[in-house]
Amino acid sequence: MAPVSLDDVRAARELLHDVVVPTPLLHSRALSELIGGPVYLKCENLQRTGSFKIRGAYLRIAGLSEAERARGVVAASAGNHAQGVALAASVLGCHATVFMPRGAPLPKIAATRGYGAEVRFPGPTVDECLVAAERHAAETGAVFIHPFDHPAVVAGQGTIGLEIVEQLPGVATILGAIGGGGLMSGIGAAVSALTAERGGPPVKIVGVQAKRAAAFPPSLAAGRPVRVEVRPTMADGIAVGRPGDLTYDLVTDVVDAVVTVTEESLSQALLICLERAKQVVEPAGAAGVAALLEHAYAVRTPAVVVLSGGNIDPVLLAKVLRHGLAGAGRYLVVRCRLKDKPGALVTLLGDVADLGVNVLDVMHERVAARLPVEEAEVVMHLETRGSDHSEQVVAHLRARGYTVATP
């Protein structure tokens, strides 16, 4: 018998009826044109707490006995599961202690505390938080609410799959982020069972991992969950070093492919979501869109991309957007040498303005050991219309006699 059945997911949906929001499914013309077929966005970034995590967290805590709830619950999370557990515990009347990585986004920390949870910081990684949370559970009797590796959590996340099939009965591919595997194994379990029950064609389920934190590909190759080194990634929400035992088995059964994406694709995906879909998402939440940029060949349409979360630190958002603009050729840094004489800087900025470039920042240096006495150096951060425009700017400045470098 499957560890998470269609009946489990249907029962989860009934329990969650007055707790979660059935999130909208929005058509994306930009992404549809990109891959040559209809693409829709499942906006879990608009869910309560800003991500899908409330679904599984609430279902898990709701299933505890009164005695278990009286002992409290404990969780480990980079932010979204933390908020889901904190809100669910508050609604259900039990105390929550949440272990978060040092350096977790400040808005996620503030929101978790705002929902009433006690927050602790045992180390810099989610894996260290998991160890600390399990130790706390053993010492205090609090119930550990795993972020992904539990049937109730998986069933809760699987309710997204039911919504997608109802909103788009002809869906051919569903893409979404994979960290530990709870989201896509839940969606895959629900959708595969539902399509089999209805006798319809199978739906392709594609999980997406950040290349810097991709534990599933080597695990699937090894035939068992294996631990990998997690390198720094902007997609902190899916930076998990080892798949869960339950979710590994489910992913093996119900997820058709797991692909990886680069930091550049993640930043460009976030930019597309903001500019073209008007959706604020975090990098992990945009992983499915990044997969369309890199792996469109693997996608049958109509396709649905799950925007799994929208809890992004505004400071990080500014950095990622700049990264995305640079990747799209719309953010250019140029270093120019010019004669150190009156009017030279004004002339340079005039030359740039003539090209229709927006100057974001200017640093003018006149005294440095690397500079000849008669020269100055200007570093300009420019917003352009794209790669071709950036190339025109550099070529024009060189034609005007400037020594130009693009660091």
Tokens of 386: 């794209």
Give the least confident one: 61-75, 185-199, 392-406.
392-406
Q: Write out the H or E segment, with its range, that includes residue 269.
A: helix 263-275
Name the pLDDT band for 1 (thresholds 50, 70, 90). Answer: low
Q: Give a yes or no: residue 369 inside a domain.
A: yes
Question: CA angle, corner 394, sides to 389 and 400, nearest 5?
Answer: 120
pLDDT bin (cut points 50, 70, 90) of residue 105 is: confident
Q: What is the mean pLDDT of residues 170-194?
A: 97
Q: What is the pLDDT of residue 222?
A: 96
Q: Is residue 1 part of a domain?
A: no
Say what the pTM is. Answer: 0.85
Domain end marker among 302, 325, 348: 325
Task: For residue 390, tell me if it sits in a domain.
Answer: yes
Nearest to 125 by CA among 179, 173, 44: 179
57 close to 153: Cβ distance less than 8 angstroms: yes
Q: Is residue 188 within 8 Å of residue 241, measured between CB atoms?
A: no
Q: Which domain holds residue 343?
A: 329-405
Span 297-336, pLDDT tens digits: 889 999 999 999 999 888 888 887 777 777 777 888 889 8
CATH number of the domain at 361, please: 3.30.70.260
Q: Are residues 195 and 118 in the same domain?
A: no
Domain CATH for 135: 3.40.50.1100
Q: Name 51's bridge partners.
A: 309
264 with 118, same domain: the answer is no
Q: Is the pLDDT of residue 369 over 70?
A: no
> Is residue 374 in a domain?
yes
Is residue 40 over pLDDT 80?
yes
Q: What is the mean pLDDT of residues 106-135?
A: 90
User: Among the listed ranges 37-41, 205-209, 288-292, 339-343, which one has the minimum average pLDDT value?
Assistant: 339-343
Tokens of 258: 């797991």
Q: Are residues 382 and 401 in the same domain?
A: yes
Closest residue by Cα to residue 168 from 55, 337, 42: 42
Helices (H), 44-150: 53-62, 66-70, 80-92, 106-114, 126-140
* Percentage, residues of the chain above pLDDT 70: 99
Identify whether residues 75 and 168 lie together within a single domain: no
Q: How many domains does the chain have?
A: 3
If asked whether residues 76 and 32 sit together in one domain, one would say: no
> Based on the domain organization, do 44 and 63 belong to the same domain?
no
Strands, DSSP E only, in 190-307? 204-210, 257-261, 303-307
How many other C-beta atoms are found inside a 10 Å radius of the C-beta of residue 50? 26
Does residue 394 share a domain with residue 285?
no
Last residue of a domain, one of 325, 350, 376: 325
Beta bridge partners of 99: 76, 120
| Top mean-pLDDT range of 207-221, 356-370, 386-400 | 207-221
Shared-domain flag, residues 307 and 210: yes
239 and 213 both lie in a single domain: yes
Q: Which of 325, 348, 363 is where one domain is finished?
A: 325
Q: What is the pLDDT of residue 364?
A: 85
Shared domain for 66 and 35, answered yes or no, is no
In order, the DSSP letters of 235-263 are: -GGG--SS--HHHHHHHHHH--EEEEE-H
Q: Report the mean per-residue pLDDT for the chain.
A: 92
> Any bridge partners for residue 176, and if so which?
207
What is the model's pLDDT at position 332?
86
Least confident of 150-154, 298-302, 340-344: 340-344
Q: Are residues 183 and 233 in the same domain?
A: yes
Residues 111 and 163 in one domain: no
Token pair in block for residue 25? 């499914």
- The pLDDT of residue 366 is above 80: no
Tell me what the mean pLDDT of segment 222-241 comes to. Answer: 92
Mean of the pLDDT values across residues 265-287?
94
